[in-house]
């Protein structure tokens, strides 16, 4: 499994876990936004250096 595929899989698992939390949870809402943004960056065909930096920060923040 490639590094990108592993990250995508981990992000999808995190989104499934977050979906089980209360919908009004600010923790769940924030982490969902971060995970979705990371998925968006991972799915981009080409990423700039700033996109790579943002992706790294997002994934570190999620501890994935």
Q: What pLDDT sits at residue 1? A: 67
Contact 62, 14 (CB under 8 A): yes
64 confidence band (pLDDT: 50, 70, 90): confident
- Is the pLDDT at 2 greater than 90, yes or no? no
In whole angstroms, give the CA distance from residue 7 to residue 2. 9
Which token pair is 16? 């499934």
For the chain, give the secondary structure using H, E and C: CCHHHHHHHHHHHHHHHHHCCCCCCHHHHHHHHHHHHHHHHHHCCCCCHHHHHHHHHHHHHHCC
Q: What confidence tens digit (pLDDT) does each residue in 16-48 have?
A: 999 999 989 999 999 999 999 999 999 998 999
């Amino acid at each position: 499994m490639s590094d990108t595929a592993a990250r995508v899989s981990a992000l999808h698992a995190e989104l499934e876990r977050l979906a089980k939390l209360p919908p009004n949870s600010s923790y769940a809402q924030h982490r969902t936004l971060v995970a979705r943004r990371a998925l968006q960056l991972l799915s981009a065909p080409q990423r700039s250096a700033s996109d790579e930096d943002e992706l790294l920060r997002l994934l570190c923040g999620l501890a994935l």
